[in-house]
Amino acid sequence: MKHIVLGISGGIAAYKSAELLRLLMKQGHSVQVVMTEAACHFISPTTLQALSGRPVYLDQWDERTPNNMAHINLGREADAIVVAPASADFIAKLAHGLADDLLSTLCLARNCPLMIAPAMNREMWQNKATARNIAQLESDGVAILGPDSGSQACGETGMGRMLEPLQLAEHIASAFQPKLFTGKKFLVTAGPTYEAIDPVRGITNQSSGKMGYAIAKAAQESGAEVVLVSGPVSLATPVNVRRIDVMSAEEMRDAVMREVAGCDVFISVAAVADYRVANRSAQKIKKGSPVLTLELVANPDILAEVAALEHPPYCVGFAAESENLAEYAEQKRRAKKLPLLVGNIAQDAIGQDENELVLFDDQGSYPLRRADKLTLARQLLQHIALRHIGARK
């Protein structure tokens, strides 16, 4: 895990910093808090010391450091500095290289990544001076996390609200992920498909899309360009992922075939309906006979079609089985000539935030212990990078 310096500048959003600190420590990081004088008007150093288990640094001339150089010592120990909230005033200091307190001096003397979470009134955020300062910091390589739009402490509504602690913790975790696939393009399918019977009814399944979205997020974290072809789900698009929404299996197939050119890795996570109604009714089918017979025809096998291309990407399939996982998953992998297939027990995974996976390839099977789906997605990508993509270079 990493050692993070959490900087807190003056702003009402400072109350959220306590929760961010807790989440970072829950991820396993050690956290050293550094506050400005203004921040102490919004949240107590005692609170943050109790949560972090470390003394909070406030003064550039703190005598606890033997050489009286806290701005050097704290920065050299850090894997990253995160300032949350970053007020308009503090952002201006960073942009102009000012160093008149411990936190601004620490940021100027750093040799590690710097991330800031802006938090201010909407008019302050929209001010041209703030826009220039943010542009300068982005040019200098500072990561800008947010802000978001919403209600503000002043009673107004608009851009400038600090991202929620959970969002910030996810951004920070993403920044620490190894860039295994820089320059690579990933194509990922996720969610269910919906096969219409008539304008108001259809055939679908219980897939939540969570595993596919976690894989898209993990791939983006790893430096890849990611295109996510998604069936109907209620999930937010991962940051910097291009999402294409579809409904039916045929729409998903068309979207995949449009995007597959130049793709390095194709991960087929979507629970694509095997069948669709042969003759969809243009009008709502009225209730009449106690028996309604539907003729079903097979949908295209998207994964098999991509794997059979003359120059296919590295194809990864998913098999959700209710029994005999190893047998059925390996049969599917061999039938479709896939280098890697990921299997799981459907009733233990669908709609859940956690999962347990088994990876099947030519060398054998590799179980991944039960964990949250983003953790499993990262482990899957490490497997692809180390055992397969690396071996093909």
Q: Is 328 left (phi over 0), alpha (psi -120 to 50) or beta?
A: alpha
Distance CA 362, CA 342 (A): 13
Active-site residue, 112 included: no
According to DSSP, the β-strands at 114-118 and 80-86 are parallel
306 token code pair: 């991509």
Q: Give the number of C-alpha atoms closer than 13 A to the C-alpha of residue 81, restricted to the C-beta side.
A: 30
Distance CA 116, CA 134 (A): 10
DSSP string, 280-337: --SSPPPP-SS-----EEEPP-HHHHHHTSSS--EEEEEEEESS-HHHHHHHHHHHHT
Q: One of 40, 154, 263, 315 is an active-site residue; which one?
A: 154
Distance CA 62, CA 67 (A): 10
Q: Specify the DSSP element, H or E, that contains 225.
A: strand 225-230
372 token code pair: 């949250």
Torsion angle in degrees (nearest 10) through CA of 195, 344, 329, 181: 90
How large is the angle between the packed helices 15-26 and 45-52, nearest 10 degrees? Answer: 10
In 3-state terms, what secondary structure has residue 389? helix
Query: What residues act catalytically?
Result: 154
